[in-house]
A and B are shown apart, each in its own frame.
Chain A
Amino acid sequence: MIDDRQGLYTPEGAELSLVLAGPVVRTAAFTLDLLIRLAIYILAAIIFSLLDSIGTGLVLILMFLLEWFYPVLFEVFRDGQTPGKKSMGIAVTHSDGTPITVNGSLIRNLLRNADMFPACYLVGFITMLCNRRFQRLGDLAADTVVVYVNKPELTPVEVNVMAEMPDWTVALADQRTLVSFLERGVKLSQARRQELAALAYPNITPERAERLALAHARYLLGGETTKVAHTAQRSQDGNA
């Protein structure tokens, strides 16, 4: 099955689902980091060229540090996010969801060279496609995954339908289906909504079926008034 979610059980028994970051978003993050490093090189070259020959040595040391330890520095001290990753809303964690350690970060970044082989991260890309968690070789060795940390904001759902009690004993699966129908229906066309609702209530017209499905869903959410804006997602910015 193709699924970009990974289940995770915390010691407290909570079952979390992490959304894994795929090759495209990771490439974008990498490119951003590359540009940042490039800007630093250019800046450093200008500054150090004023120091004549000592400058060459310092630039080489800087290049060495940036090339190998730029990701390590940010991953360890910025909760798994280099600036590029941060702007993409992704972060490196160990596969048990804990923040990445120095050791883990060094393993995955030293082995980056194997992933780059022979060019353009070909080995890393193929490896990512060959396992369920989009891990490149370095990730496999360090037991790390790249996940989304800031989920996109969900818009509150508003429906102008009075709640109505279902006339059957609602099973959990029914409840989930109806509630999802209410939440995700706003993204569908009315014709599609009616088509779906008609599957659930085959004995009435599609227009009535849609209204009834929404009314039942409103009831299951606990709605009593005519208007509801539930689970308004507060922004979860600046944190990872």
Chain B
Amino acid sequence: MKQNQFEAQYRAEWLEFERLLQILADNKKEQRQDAQFASFPERYRRLCHQHALAHERGYSLPLIQQLNELIFQGHRQLYRHRLPIVGPLIRFILHDFPVAVREQKAWNLASGFVFVFAVVFMWVLVDQQPEMIYSLIDGNSVSGIENMYEPGAGFREDRDSSDDVTMFGYYIYNNIGIAFRTFASGLFFGVGAIVVELFNGAYFGAIAAHLINIGSHEPFFTFVVAHGAPELTAIALSGGSGMRLGWALLAPGPWPRRYALQRAAQLAMPVMYGAFGLLLIAAFVEAFWSPRQLEPTIKYSVGAASWILLYLYLLVAGRRNA
């Protein structure tokens, strides 16, 4: 068959297929009632057949490209992943996230260990030699922090709800950004994630020890105890996920590096979704609960409950139907 005959024979089909593609692209529900859609897969297969014929018979390049384009668009419609939202979300919270966290517990423990190591190291150092804080944090920042947690400072009473919203926005922007960057920097063979964990841990340890030294520990610990649980855990989990990516590149095992990386990313992603959720919760608590001036016993009890519940959830949830 000559090309011109071929085109004349099938042109109507191609035009109809293009019309269906256009309707699908417009994404309007009522138009999808068109009875022609029942035949979409069949039309698509016929098109693939015609494309193969055109190719094999040496028809002209523009014709083949045109069919190529139609098939590609049909392919994108036919093999679309549809997304239900609510069911998977509940399943994710009750099952997938804690299971994914436990599945990569070696990485999370490594990341958590680096963080805790830095905290303890700086804490002990600043506790023994108080001036060592200035080796990590400059003088202006230190006095800023001292003012912030000064016992009996008036500004904590004056704080109103618009400050809470501002701080909520800040925590979202800053903390979740840090978590995502920690994850991404893990790609550099895990070094980036380790550096972030070390730095954050050292910073936290130094400030905690310094505030104890100057007697401001109560405002500080009553402030951080509740949101610390989700926040620090989420940062450790991001670091663990990042280190996992870096490790996949460093020691891909039986896979080529490209597939090892893809596999590690697929497995680490649920942990990152969870870390994102935890940081949202942390930002909310930090902005709206932590600044409230209440009895230290209440704040410490709530803080303890927050830590216990979170780790109970991460260690136990989803075990039954795993």
Contacts and interface: CB of A to CB of B under 8 A. Distances in A.
A137 to B, nearest CB: 6
Interface size class of chain B, counting residues whose CB lies under 8 Å from the partner chain: 35 or more
A98 B172 contact: no
A81 B172 CA distance: 26
Interface in B30-51: 44-45, 47-49, 51
Interface in B175-194: 176-177, 180-181, 183-185, 187-188, 192
B177 A239 contact: no
B170 A60 contact: yes
B171 to A, nearest CB: 9
Interface string B54-73: 01111111110110110111
Nearest to B72: A16
Interface residues of A, number: 66
Interface stretch (B122-130, B131-139, B158-166, B294-302): B158-166
A113 B242 CA distance: 12
Contacts of A176: 58
Contacts of A172: 56-58
Given A12-B48, A113-B180, A222-B2, A231 B60 contact: yes
A61 B72 contact: no
A102 B269 CA distance: 11
B165 A239 contact: no
A233 B68 CA distance: 13
Given A223-B4, A239-B25, A61 B269 contact: no
Interface in A42-74: 52-54, 56-61, 63-64, 67-68
Interface stretch (B75-83, B104-112, B198-206, B303-311): B75-83
A161 interface: no
A149 to B, nearest CB: 8
A103 B5 CA distance: 46
Contact of A183 (B49, B60, B69, B168): B60
B58 A114 contact: no
A103 B100 CA distance: 15
Interface string A99-137: 101110011001111100100000000000000000001
Contact of A54 (B81, B166, B265, B266): B166
A61 B52 CA distance: 51
Given A236-B69, A238-B25, A221 B60 contact: yes
A234 B18 contact: yes
B213 interface: no
A180 interface: yes
Contact of B173 (A64, A99, A175): A64
A57 B167 contact: yes
B282 interface: no
A213 interface: no
Given A142-B262, A230-B3, A61 B168 contact: yes
B272 A56 contact: no
A151 B69 contact: yes
A102 B73 CA distance: 19
Nearest to A237: B22
Contacts of A57: 162, 165-170
A143 B183 CA distance: 18
Interface of A: 10, 12-18, 52-54, 56-61, 63-64, 67-68, 79, 93, 96-99, 101-103, 106-107, 110-114, 117, 137, 140-143, 149, 151, 154, 172, 175-176, 179-180, 182-183, 220-223, 228, 230-231, 233-234, 236, 238-240
Question: 8 closest Cβ contacts across the A-B interface?
Answer: A222-B2, A57-B169, A60-B169, A113-B184, A222-B4, A14-B48, A57-B166, A141-B265
Given A14-B51, A64-B176, A236-B18, 8 more contacts: A14-B71, A57-B162, A79-B25, A93-B76, A110-B184, A180-B60, A231-B62, A238-B22
